[in-house]
Structure 1
Amino acid sequence: MDPLVAFFITLVLITVFSLWYRITPFFTLIGGAILFGLLAGMTPDATMLGIVEGVGRVFSAFGIIILCGAIIAKLMEEQKQTEEIVSDIRRVVHHPPVIAGSSGYLLSVPVTCCVTSYIMLIPIIECIGKDRTGRTVLLYLAAVGGVISYALIYPTPVVIPLFGAFSRGISPLAFDAVSVPLSLAVLGAVLLYFRFFSPYAATRRDSSAFLPSGTGDCITDKTQGIHWRAWAPFIVILLAIPVSLFLLKLSHVSMINIIMLAGTVTAISLAPPAARTAGLSRGAKHGGFIIFDICGAGALGFVIVQSGFASTALNQMTLVIPVILVPFFLAALIETAQGSRVVTAVIAAEVLAKSPVISTIHPIPLILLISAGACIVSYVTDPFFWLVQRTTGDDIRTVVRYYTLPIALAGILILIVAVTLQYLVFR
């Protein structure tokens, strides 16, 4: 069967089974990977080997990060440190939705991983919200804000392979002179989307709706000093970034793992014995659920890529789609198929570098077109989708509405700007 047809059949069945039977995502995605492999003509052995390798790749990329983040969060909960951080934030925060979105946006660049930045923010955001709906809105904004900067700004892992393949001598500063203002404008559009289209009543009231009322467990005494002990894991994580890059000269993969380990060691060291035991146990359990969900997405994505999906898609698209839109649709299909924006960038760069498409499009619009396509469909193959679903506790429909659709909106805006630049500025 044609890989494109097999892909769409698999996507529909995964959605139906997820919504109807509410099976844990790991088994749904593994089942989808088996189905796709067999429909696409892969042997059972090749399909299972692809699943195993896909699980292994995602586990190696995110396992340490997610486990460390979960342990830090649970250790903070055991010691009421999230409440202490909130008491510090309430002194300066006047509009929590903006803070949540901009925090995810800003952290993704130095951390070079939107998943890591989101995990770092979870324990803080979960206590900022007045109730569950308020907290959920803030979590979505942090996730979407992180994806925006991650997909657009050099030097993140999404942009680096694209810039290396297509820059043709253009300075990174010249690219960021376009991408940074664009990303800020897109973030503003996403904030407006949540303000006017979110069903949560909290988004239509003043910003105090997001803040704790002060009657619960959250500490609100403004006469206290800054709770440095509660902030210590995050301070160590941020300080470890320049140390990892400039002193130890670590690679990107090593860096994001070592900074999370440094933060976790700090949190464990500062926790009293009782909190340490409970936090480690609860963190390992919570992290395990998240890790296996996203590993299922990795299995499906790897099997799809191994089937030759990308090359088939490019050959068919060049026959019916205007050249200016080919990079966008190719990236959108690759992203939908395997879920990782970094993998989308790498595969798109490899496939397009050998095609005549790149000679007709200026490097800056070309990179933006691929970044836009990588944002269009963040769905069941996207590991971040399942992380957000797990941490918000929402059903798939809701996650699509407030994670997938805002990121798709960002992709459409980036597409419009890229096409405009190509025809009006770089002709």
Structure 2
Amino acid sequence: MDLQLLAALVLGIAAIVLIVLRTRLDAFVALLVAALLAGFVAGLPVTGILDSITEGFGSTMGAIGIVIGLGVGVGKILEVSGAADALAKAFVRALGKGREPWAMAGTGALVSIPVFCDSGYVIMNPLARSIARRAKAGYVTLALALGCGMTLTHHLVPPTPGPLGVAGILSADVGGLILGGLVFAIVLLPVIVAYARWIGPKLESQVLPNVRAEVYGDSASRSAVATTGSTGSTGSAGAGDDGAGDAGNDESATDTTTPDEGGSEAGWRPRRLSAWVASLPLVVPLLLIVANTVAEAVDRSAQGVLSGDDYEPSPVAGVLSFLGSPVVALLIGLVLAVYVLLPRMTTRNQVANWLSQAASSAGLIILITGAGGAFGQVLRDTGVGEELAETIASWNLPGVLVPFLVATLVRLAQGSGTVAMITAASVTAPLVAGLGISPLAAALACCAGSMVFSYFNDSYFWVVTRFTGLDGAAAIRGWSGITTAAWLGSLPLVLLAGAVL
């Protein structure tokens, strides 16, 4: 292992931790400083460091910046219209007391099979907020369960790009990887729910004040801190609501909701919304994205092109590819939110004020997410990930642990789970026969190993922690901890796959 590259990685991470925990500067500045420091120590030319930063920032923003902006807009309209509250009531009625974390984890896992977890989390987070708002407790538990449920299937189940690429590199059966990944995800769901229930109440009081106010309202946020010490669930729904509005004990009404400051006008009243109507801005974008994924998978199968760039979509697949892109799908969702959820008397100025508030809350999230992508790109360009992969592959280990640990160390080095599993597959591919494992077992090991310890150099870390309102050590204990719990829980499954597949 090149000590210079190792020093670049260690010093970069140390810089982030020190700046975030010990200075007045925020994570956006810390990530940029870490990217510069890691690049200098690794020996990249000055212009190369700056090119890596701008490339990483730009590619990350291109992938999820618009999605975050549109997603928070949809979430804001769901909130002020009372739609999120209507959905929360329906959710609580259907599931019963204490089962909401399971529902969030399961929903996240299902949604993230066809939808990138960044996009899916932005779309589904308003539901977690509204359920917590009604219970006046438990938001951190719900948010972590939702986010890590998405992590499971994003890392383990094709047709997400990482697992699909791994299957192609290792010549593993895609259908077998789908089934194996689903088994892994189902077995790991109790692990992440248990961790979310355990850590959530401990971190509830550390939620950033602005996020706590958005979720619970000013008075509810104070009572939430006082009531989350002993449970990991959201409890039962309360009779009142200081957030998006609660119509007392009338489960079907949302007409006591009032718009946020800056958006209210005399005579404005929200509509009475059913859960079905309230779900349209969420369900329609998700269905479009799913339809795009399914159509592409079917089209690729018909053409015999399961991976790679040698694919020309059919006319139908091309149309769905456009409508099902996260940007277009969420844009449609935002239009539906404005014109279906809000009453006719709602003025353009009211909508503009609400969307302006949403954009304001999303601004720092977008910047920090982009800076995380910049740091990850610098680490990729230094070659530290490849260096770690070659080192671990030379160790004398049980065969199935080689791809698992390669993916683990590459993930720690540069942040991207997709890059980690693809790198692990590339390193492992020529070794599979000699390691005595099947391509399917190697593929599962690559995918599972890439889930470990999501932290500062992972853009999804910043999406989840900023929307959840966790910062510094609380973010590490919550999000980094739950992803590591999923990784650790997958280890016996990987060993079992190596033995039986």
Considering the TM-score relative to the shorter chain, is it more than 0.5? yes
Tell me the distance in 1 between the aligned counterparts of 2:105 and 2:473: 21
The structure carrying a bigger helix percent of its residues is: 1
Q: Does 1:135 align with 2:160?
A: no
Contact 2:140 2:200 in 1 (8 A): no
Contact 2:138 2:233 in 1 (8 A): no
Q: Does 1:211 align with 2:237?
A: yes
* Amino acid across the alignment from 1:257: V
Structure 1, unaligned runs of 5 or more: none
Q: 1:226 to 1:71 in 2, by over 3 A?
A: same
Q: CA deviation at 1:196?
A: 4.4
Q: Does 1:109 align with 2:113?
A: yes
Q: 1:149 to 1:358 in 2, by over 3 A?
A: farther
Match of 2:382 in 1: 307
Contact 1:79 1:275 in 2 (8 A): no
Q: Does 1:236 align with 2:284?
A: yes
Q: CA deviation at 1:23?
A: 2.2
Structure 2, unaligned runs of 5 or more: 203-226, 254-272, 296-315
Alignment of 1:229-268 (within 5 A): 229-245=277-293, 246=295, 247-249=316-318, 255-268=325-338
* Amino acid across the alignment from 2:131: I
* Amino acid across the alignment from 2:47: D
Contact 1:332 1:376 in 2 (8 A): yes
Match of 1:390 in 2: 466
Give the match's secondary structure for 1:137.
helix
Q: Does 1:17 align with 2:19?
A: yes
Q: CA deviation at 1:151?
A: 1.0
Moved over 6 A (4+): none
Q: Which moved more, 1:202-211 or 1:320-329?
A: 202-211
Match of 1:165 in 2: 169
* Amino acid across the alignment from 1:128: I
Alignment of 1:3-402 (within 5 A): 3-94=5-96, 95-111=99-115, 113-129=116-132, 130=134, 133-168=137-172, 170=173, 172-196=174-198, 198-200=200-202, 202=228, 204-205=230-231, 207=233, 209=235, 211-214=237-240, 216=242, 217-219=245-247, 220-223=249-252, 226-245=274-293, 246=295, 247-249=316-318, 255-270=325-340, 271=342, 272-273=346-347, 274-322=349-397, 323-353=399-429, 355-357=430-432, 359-360=434-435, 361-402=437-478
Q: CA deviation at 1:235?
A: 2.5
* Amino acid across the alignment from 1:290: I
Give the match's secondary structure for 1:143.
helix
Q: CA deviation at 1:194?
A: 3.1
Give the match's secondary structure for 2:363.
helix
Tell me the distance in 2 between the aligned counterparts of 1:161 and 1:31: 32
Q: Which moved more, 1:14-23 or 1:84-93?
A: 84-93
Q: 1:91 to 1:198 in 2, by over 3 A?
A: closer
Tell me the distance in 1 between the aligned counterparts of 2:494 and 2:358: 43
Tell me the distance in 2 between the aligned counterparts of 1:99 and 1:182: 18
Q: % of aligned pairs identical? A: 26
* Amino acid across the alignment from 2:283: I
Q: CA deviation at 1:197?
A: 5.2
Q: 1:292 to 1:268 in 2, by over 3 A?
A: same
Tell me the distance in 2 between the aligned counterparts of 1:299 and 1:358: 37
Contact 1:240 1:262 in 2 (8 A): no
Give the match's secondary structure for 1:379.
coil
Give the match's secondary structure for 2:113.
helix
Contact 1:166 1:358 in 2 (8 A): no
Q: CA deviation at 1:394?
A: 1.9
Match of 1:407 in 2: 483
Q: CA deviation at 1:150?
A: 1.1
Q: CA deviation at 1:319?
A: 3.5
Tell me the distance in 1 between the aligned counterparts of 2:101 and 2:180: 25
Contact 1:86 1:218 in 2 (8 A): no
Q: 1:14 to 1:316 in 2, by over 3 A?
A: same
Match of 2:494 in 1: 418
Q: 1:215 to 1:35 in 2, by over 3 A?
A: closer
Contact 2:200 2:232 in 1 (8 A): no
Q: Which moved more, 1:321-330 or 1:305-314?
A: 321-330
Contact 2:138 2:232 in 1 (8 A): no
* Amino acid across the alignment from 1:116: S
Give the match's secondary structure for 1:375.
coil
Tell me the distance in 1 between the aligned counterparts of 2:396 and 2:404: 10
Q: 1:184 to 1:395 in 2, by over 3 A?
A: same
- Which structure has the bigger radius of gyration? 2
RMSD value, Cα: 2.5
Q: Which string of whole-angstrom CA distances, capped at 9 and with x for unpartnered residues, describes residues 175-214 of structure 1?
A: 2332212211101122123334554464854856263343
Tell me the distance in 2 between the aligned counterparts of 1:132 and 1:290: 24
Contact 1:202 1:210 in 2 (8 A): no
Q: 1:24 to 1:251 in 2, by over 3 A?
A: farther
* Amino acid across the alignment from 1:89: F
* Amino acid across the alignment from 1:244: N
Q: CA deviation at 1:380?
A: 0.6
Q: CA deviation at 1:160?
A: 0.7
Contact 1:358 1:366 in 2 (8 A): no
Contact 1:87 1:221 in 2 (8 A): no
Tell me the distance in 1 between the aligned counterparts of 2:181 and 2:168: 16
Contact 2:291 2:324 in 1 (8 A): no
Q: CA deviation at 1:161?
A: 0.6
Q: CA deviation at 1:287?
A: 2.1
Contact 1:78 1:278 in 2 (8 A): no
Match of 2:217 in 1: none
* Pairs aligned (count): 421
